[in-house]
Amino acid sequence: MLRVGLTGGLATGKSFVGKCLSDLGCHLLKADDLGHQVMQPGGSAFAGVVEAFGEGVLDDTGHIDRRALGSLVFGQPDALEKLNKLVHPAVIALEEEWMHGIAARHPRAIVVVEAAILIETGSYQRFDKLVLTVCSDEQQIERAIKRDGLSRAEVLERLQRQMPLEEKRKYADYVIDTSGEKEMTLVQSSRLYAVLRGLPQ
């Protein structure tokens, strides 16, 4: 089985490329979905997060309000590190469990884990290959404004807190440029799939 990490900066097209690879035959897992899962009531990170950040992060239904939690950690490196230490091990454990399950059923499978901060956390080292999605800074800004309803200033602030894409390129085995039309991204994704399928496992 081939383990592939898929990462990129804010609004660089990770999810689109992930879907392309999934449609072509890869097994896809989104780390962000697992992040939601482990912070649900009864999830492995729920109690720790509430204990660390207080019941003020809970909404009226007793679920963690991710926006409220985000406002506590955004721009606060120590708080963000505390949150990551609670959530990331739980997410990684689920990723590994999922990958082991796929390997048992499909020994020749290509599994793709889509995650925003694979490089920053050092988690990229768990994968055989790393794929990076890139586009121009202005495209990141425009896409994030359109997708997330953020102001330009909010997007710029988030980008300033991320590892620059040029820095991330140093870690990547493959780079997909999503700055063109979607058809071009599809072509690049198809070529990448062919390369991955041809690698020894």
Burial of 72 (0-12, 13-18, 19+ CB in 10 A): middle
* Residues in contact with 133: Cβ distance below 8 Å, sequence separation at least 6, in sequence order: 6, 7, 8, 9, 12, 13, 14, 17, 175, 176, 178
Express each pLDDT in 134-149 by its tens digit.
Answer: 999 999 999 999 998 8
**Total number of domains constituting the chain:** 2
Answer whether residue 123 shows pLDDT above 90: yes
In a domain, 195, yes or no: yes
Express each pLDDT in 156-201 by its tens digit.
Answer: 988 888 899 999 999 999 999 999 999 999 999 999 999 999 998 7
Range of 46's domain? 32-97
Summarize the confidence of residues 24-53 as an average pLDDT. 96
- Is the Cα dihedral 190, 4, 42, 85 positive or negative? negative
Please give the structure tokens belonging to residue 201. 């496992």
User: What integer pLDDT is reported at residue 17 of this predicted model?
Assistant: 98
Same domain, 114 and 200: yes
Answer whether residue 107 shows pLDDT above 90: yes
User: Pick from 97, 121, 150: which residue ends a domain?
Assistant: 97
